Chains A and B, each alone.
Chain A
């Protein structure tokens, strides 16, 4: 809240109302519904249901395939987040440095941002296809046997690569904005203090970019967890089999595809709790950050 805030009561409530009504109906109600049905086993058509207490949760804890998905999600999220950030940062630093063609590079690098996830997944699945994939053929020429859909880690690497590819532009734009927001005076001062470009980057630029970076970290974690859904779905062609899948995709597979409402609701609730923890972390970080600036 601003120190010099308005004192009205009804007007701000009026302003908040549309947002609150929409999230109450389309977020809290469904979320509450998921919480409730996570304690039941329910016929999909709604004809019968049995209260099963914590069963839907305990079976998750004892399910090795769920734990596999959880581990994979952790690995997937870490790799996608790290590489999407690292590559974007490298490109942003370079784009900030060069004078000639800076705008052209920026335009070219932003392009992929506009591609729909199922389309990105399709591009990936075509490029990595076992028999006709261009990348598969390239790897074959290098003597690497690459088998999407057969080998767990081959499939995983395709998912990770496509997910990184899709996320680089957003990170790039944010990093570039962050870099360009560093005042000229700070840059010049840094020049005088530091001879080495590398040291200048780590000592001055990187700390100044840290807020952007931390914010992007959270954005990228949520992207890897949730928004890669379309990519995962397209790459496993809707049939996970012995291939890896993320937790969100598993909610979809069991609930939307398999009609196990109770089981998938319990998974949603687990996700919601994870999300809540993430939210708290982010909230605390933001508050601190605002204090700094």
Chain B
């Protein structure tokens, strides 16, 4: 694309010095490099900081260079059992975050796809109403309705369970909304062809619509996984069983004393946990980025 543009500019404006074109490209790279630095330098600093001891970090703040405590901090963050029952360390917290992220993403995609399918592909008198009901939930966050949600979960005896952790988070419309958008952009001919072939709604959904939506599903999966993975307030309220603690909660437990200054928080270990907590979602985002971008592109047609 840039090549075309350069040729074009060069061809139509031959009086301009050729040098300027190069400057243009360099300018583009400069902007991108500046952007990348803006995004990544803080992350790099967390990584560098995770190699220092708590006192140094407390006195001097985040670090640029590397210290000597990398091994100690990561070992403690991953393998040292914390808490009272000794049933939780970084690895179990990682597993719990994974369950929360996966459970939330998969649950939400299934529920959302089904609802969107019903709204878009059926002559349903209350489809619009249903869509509105679902859509309204898009914008009110759990933080604002957290206490009544807690009462419901406890009344249903779902405290300290993965179900209790995951299901209330599904009560928002993001996935339904995106899938509805996407389904509406799917060509009409497909369903007509399917009906001529005698495919019923179940067959059409599973054999045609789901495979067709796989990039969209991938994009949704990434968005939802990251969202579920990063939850903090809800897991803190709903779990008392240490074996269910998640990484983000573990980080909060370490940095709790940051604000009150009574003791030195284990900054190094917190930074190490933050890096560990960042890794799986980053890997997912990076590896699936092509699908991600593709899914969004198709939905925007």
State which residues 13-59 of B face A: CB under 8 Å: 13, 25, 28-29, 31-32, 35-36, 38-40, 42-43, 45-46, 49, 58-59
Range, interface on chain A: 35 or more
Does chain A have a CB within 8 A of B118? yes
Given contacts A5-B122, A290-B184, contact A237 B112 (CB under 8 A): no
Among A2, A7, A261, the most chain B Cβ lie within 10 Å of the Cβ of A2
A2 touches B171 (CB 8 A): no
Query: A181 near B135 (CB under 8 angstroms)?
Result: no
Interface window among A21-29, A47-55, A70-78: A21-29
* Interchain CB contact under 8 A, B32 and A94: yes
CB <8 Å contact, A123 and B42: yes
**Selected contact of A91 from candidates B31, B184, B230, CB within 8 Å:** B31
- Interface pair A116/B32, CB less than 8 Å apart: no
Q: Given the complex, which residues of B lie within 8 Å of A279, measured CB to CB?
A: 135-136, 138-139
Residue of B59, B60, B111, B289 near A106 (CB, 8 A) is B289
Q: CA A173 – CA B286 in complex, angstroms?
A: 12
Contact A118 B191 (CB under 8 A): no
Residues of B37-88 contacting chain A, CB below 8 A: 38-40, 42-43, 45-46, 49, 58-62
Known: A118-B251, A230-B232, A237-B258. A26 touches B293 (CB 8 A): no
Tell me which residues from 126 to 168 in chain B have a Cβ below 8 Å from any Cβ of chain A. Answer: 127, 130, 132-141, 143-149, 152, 167-168
Which residues of B are found within 8 Å of A227, using beta-carbon distances?
Answer: 141
Does the CB pair B121–A2 fall under 8 Å? yes
On whether the beta carbons of B145 and A16 are closer than 8 Å, the reply is no
B115 contacts the other chain (CB 8 A): yes
How far apart are B186's CB and chain A's nearest CB, in angstroms? Answer: 8
Q: Contact check, B300 vs A211: say whether CB atoms are below 8 A apart.
A: yes
| Interface-side segment among A59-67, A140-148, A151-159, A267-275 | A267-275
Shortest Cβ distance from residue A42 to the other chain B in the assembled complex, whole angstroms:
11
Known: A106-B289, A111-B43, A255-B147. A13 touches B31 (CB 8 A): no
Do B293 and A109 have beta carbons less than 8 Å apart? no
Answer whether residue A242 sits at the interface, using C-beta atoms and an 8 A cutoff: no
Q: How far is the CA of A127 from the CA of B63 in the complex (A)?
A: 10
Q: How many angstroms between the C-alpha atoms of A34 and B297 in the bound complex?
A: 39
B278 close to chain A: CB less than 8 A: yes
Interface size on B, residues (CB 8 A): 107
The residue on A at minimum CB distance from B186 is A2
Note all chain A residues with C-beta closer than 8 A to B212: none
Q: Does B114 contact A (CB under 8 A)?
A: yes
Is the Cβ of B31 less than 8 Å from the Cβ of A107?
no
Report if A19-B145 is in contact (Cβ < 8 Å); known contacts: A107-B286, A114-B278, A272-B140: no
Partner of A16, one of B43, B114, B139, B152: B114
Instruction: Check B141 against A226 for contact (C-beta < 8 Å).
Output: yes
- Is residue A240 contacting chain B, with contact meaning CB distance below 8 A? no
Does A243 lie at the interface of the complex (its beta carbon under 8 Å from any beta carbon of B)?
A: no
Which residues of A are found within 8 Å of B232, using beta-carbon distances?
116-118, 230
Q: Are B139 and A275 in contact (CB under 8 A)?
A: yes
A199 interface residue per 8 A CB criterion: no
Instruction: Choose among B38, B42, B110, B289 the residue with the greatest number of A CB atoms under 10 Å from its CB.
Output: B42
Instruction: List B contacts of A226 (CB < 8 A).
Output: 139-141, 143-144
Contact among B122, B146, B281, B285 with A8 in the assembled complex (CB-CB below 8 Å): B122
Contact of B148 among A9, A33, A122 (CB under 8 A): A33
B39–A19 contact, CB under 8 A? no
Contact A1 B39 (CB under 8 A): no
Known A31-B145, A87-B35; contact A134-B111, beta-carbon cutoff 8 A: no
Question: What residue of chain A has the Cβ atom nearest to residue B25's Cβ?
Answer: A98
Chain B residues positioned under 8 Å from A261 (CB to CB): 147
Contact B119 A111 (CB under 8 A): no
CB atoms of A248 and B139 under 8 A apart: no
Contacting residue for A165 out of B42, B172, B259, B289, CB 8 A: B42
Establish whether residues B191 and A4, one from each chain, have CB atoms under 8 Å apart when the complex forms. yes
Q: Chain A nearest CB: distance from B153 CB in Å?
A: 9
Given contacts A108-B40, A251-B143, contact A6 B121 (CB under 8 A): yes
Q: Is A126 an interface residue (CB 8 A)?
A: yes
- Determine which of B32, B115, B282, B300 lies in contact with A98 in the assembled complex, contact meaning CB atoms within 8 Å: B32
For residue A173, which residues in chain B have a CB less than 8 angstroms away from its CB?
292-293, 296
Of B29, B152, B255, B294, the contact of A29 (CB 8 Å cutoff): B152
A226–B140 alpha-carbon span in the complex (Å): 8
Given A226-B143, A252-B144, 10 additional A-B pairs, CB 8 A: A4-B188, A5-B121, A15-B118, A20-B133, A23-B172, A31-B140, A96-B1, A97-B1, A107-B286, A111-B285
Give the A-binding residues of B (Cβ under 8 A).
Answer: 1-5, 8-9, 12-13, 25, 28-29, 31-32, 35-36, 38-40, 42-43, 45-46, 49, 58-62, 110-112, 114-115, 117-124, 127, 130, 132-141, 143-149, 152, 167-168, 170-173, 176, 181, 184-185, 188, 191-192, 195, 201-202, 204, 226, 229-230, 232, 248, 251-252, 255, 258-259, 270, 274, 277-278, 281-282, 284-286, 289, 292-294, 296-298, 300-301
Q: List 20 A-B contacts (CB under 8 A).
A: A5-B122, A5-B191, A8-B201, A19-B112, A19-B114, A19-B176, A23-B134, A26-B152, A114-B285, A119-B274, A127-B62, A132-B61, A197-B5, A248-B143, A272-B140, A278-B139, A279-B136, A279-B138, A286-B181, A293-B185
Leading 6 A-B pairs by shortest Cβ distance: A132-B61, A114-B281, A30-B148, A26-B171, A12-B118, A30-B145
